[in-house]
């Protein structure tokens, strides 16, 4: 008896889910129009360029130090 009732409930839920999936979805969505930002975004491009340049020099210097230590140990 419990199985029949459970099966009937599942069958009803399946029918409801099938109806929901077959409904047509709207083809267009309303989107708010674009507005300019109140403040400029951060970080500024100049800060990014400066940090990238400095980090490239530091990493290059560290790489050169490692290479020189390896060459000294080979001799």
pTM, two decimal places: 0.46
Start-end of H helices in the chain: 2-22, 45-74
What are the tens digits of pLDDT across the range 19-65? 887 776 667 777 888 888 888 777 888 999 999 999 999 999 999 99
pLDDT of residue 21: 78
pLDDT of residue 24: 67
Domain segments of the chain as ranges: 40-75
- Asked whether residue 4 carries a pLDDT value surpassing 80, the answer given is no
The angle subtended at Cα 37 by Cα 40 and Cα 49, nearest 5°, is: 25
| DSSP conformational letter for 33 | P
């Amino acid at each position: 008896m419990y199985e029949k009732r459970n099966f009937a409930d599942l069958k009803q839920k399946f029918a409801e889910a099938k109806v929901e999936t077959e409904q047509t979805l709207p083809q267009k969505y309303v989107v708010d129009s674009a507005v300019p930002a109140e403040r400029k975004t951060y970080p500024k491009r100049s800060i990014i360029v400066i940090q990238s340049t400095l980090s490239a020099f530091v990493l290059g210097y560290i790489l050169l130090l490692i290479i020189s230590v390896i060459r000294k140990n080979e001799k």
